Amino acid sequence: MDNARLQAVKLLGKTFSKGGYSNILLDKTLSETSMGEKDKNFCAALYYGVLERRITLDHIITGYSRMKLSKLRPEILNILRTGIYQLKFMDNIPDSAAVNESVNIARKLKLGSLSGFVNAVLRNFLRDGKQIKYPENKTEKLSVEYSSPEWLVNLLLQNYSENQAVSLLKSSVEKPPVTVRLNNLKGETSQILERLSDFSPESTVIDGCYKISYGDVTKTQAFKDGLFHVQDIASQLCCMALNPKEGETVLDLCSAPGGKAFTLAELMNDKGRILAFDIHDNRVRLIKNGAERLGISCIEAKTGNASVFDERIPMADKILCDVPCSGLGVIRRKPEIKYKNFEEFERLPEIQYKILENAVKYLKPGGELVYSTCTVNPVENVRVIDRFLKEYKNFKGVKFLEELGIPFGDYKVTLFPENLNSDGFFISKIKRTE
């Protein structure tokens, strides 16, 4: 697995220096390598593991390095991160292999003069029983324990209960569940489940949503046959909150890759009209391809800018406004998000508000709109909705999914992993009264 370790170190270097989405970088690397499946899986686990635990790993390394992390060569720092991660978080890897292969990678990268330093840091960590020395300050401790930046820890503690904050932080370093939406257009639930028996499907609180235990489900014949699409339970609840009916006209203004549009179509039994938009042509193709795989005919995927009014778009009975956001609720799926500067998110609320203002222009009197994000930042969520309802008197909040109990029962809800093991998510429903 030495090549897998080397590839992980190189991937981390690209991710931390150039940015980009981890899944895209990993998929590209694995598709171009000659590694076997076992090594590919190990490379992916090590790569994502270090991404998830970087702050924790750097805290450990700081305690054993005679040099500041900022002074270390990036390659050496990533070798140490992968080495410490194997020692602390991968029980199936022998300590000797983690240390020796880390030293070997330094040599392969022509950094042999620093191989002794790598060896010393890793072996000293071993001698201390692989213990993490946590800070006494609560914010700093949570930051190290759950490998989250202090600004995120503070944001959560200042706006939510400690239980909610910890549930999100803890989930961010755990393996996220795989949930799917069964395609009721392909048959009865029992019939589909029979064909998915190898996936160990487990029911959830909502009909048609199942957790499954499997590898890459998108490579299975059942997926190719359109029996389901992969979608977190929070996104499915968002569609249920909109509650589309057969024969209605529905707009999904920020749709790609199309998961919510697919669920809306299934809830409508493919009877009605759904216009699904994205600003990029290549992402519109994702919606079209997904709808075709699932056998959905009522979706019309089009290119469109959600923040700019288009007189060609018809008035709608229901609108889904799932706006671009900071993504702080899906860090367990995209760990690189937490290493962004918080300042990068400051312009988002105005963009979100502009999209919402434009969206309501398409809503019929009596029509309903769901505003949603996959973040838990109140500035992008409740404050956008509160501002809108204050400025637009012909709209009111509408309660939704009350039958599911807490946290539902209001017109705006923030979901945390502690509720339904969902991603962090915000859903609000409003209605045009005139």
On whether the CB atoms of residues 89 and 174 are closer than 8 A, the answer is no
Burial letters for 392-411: b for 16+ Cβ neighbours within 10 Å, e otherwise?
A: eeebeebebbeebeebbeeb
Which helix (H) or strand (E) element contains residue 162?
helix 162-171
User: Which residue from 238, 160, 177 is spatially nearest to 206, judged by alpha carbons?
Assistant: 238
Annotated catalytic residue: which of 43, 239, 321, 374?
A: 374
Confirm whether 325 is a catalytic residue: no
Please give the backbone phi and psi of residue 413, each rounded to the nearest 5 degrees, phi first: -140, 135
DSSP 369-404: EEEEES---GGGTHHHHHHHHHH-TTEEE----GGG
Residue tagged 């669920």 (tokens): 263
- The Cα–Cα gap between 341 and 388 comes to 27
* Pair type for strands 178-182 and 209-212: antiparallel
- The Cα–Cα gap between 290 and 23 comes to 19
Provide the 10 A C-beta neighbour count for residue 175.
10
Q: Which amino acid is at 400?
A: F
Q: Which amino acid is at 363?
A: L
Q: Which residues are registered as beta bridge partners of 203?
A: 210
User: Which residue from 150, 147, 15, 133 is spatially nearest to 63, judged by alpha carbons?
Assistant: 133
- Which of the residues are catalytic? 374
